[in-house]
Amino acid sequence: MKINNFIYILLAAYLATFLRITINNNFLISIIGSFLVGFFIRRRLGVSTEKILLSGFFSCFTSFSGFIYFLYKILNQGDWIQFIIFFNLIIIVNLFIMIFGFWISRKIT
């Protein structure tokens, strides 16, 4: 991989981190990120562009650590029922949103 691709991945990660801090809503970020991942996966991008978007932008934008921190805060309050509901809800909703993004991308082409 060329050095330019690493620079582009870093810039994409920086932009994603900035957007994540600006939005400051883990659920909304995961919904937007899941939709866009599904949308761009369907596009069959070049290897470099795919790495820049998936490894650089979306990995920093949707950040698994944000999801875990959100669940940790609920669990730390001792509310197991709410924890189980949010855990399953977030995973299921994000999966369907990603499939929806994939479907929308397919309809556009």
Digit-coded pLDDT (tens) for 5-18: 889 988 998 999 89
Asked if 94 and 38 count as a contact pair (C-beta separation under 8 A), the reply is no
pLDDT band at 101 (very low <50, low <70, confident <90, very high): very high
Q: Where are the domains of the chain?
A: 3-108
pLDDT the model gives residue 35: 92
Q: What is the mean pLDDT of residues 67-78?
A: 86
**Gap between the Cα atoms of 26 and 72, Å rounded:** 13
Is residue 31 exposed (0-12), middle (13-18) or buried (19+ Cβ within 10 Å)? middle
- pTM for this prediction: 0.79
Whole-angstrom Cα distance, residue 62 to residue 23? 11
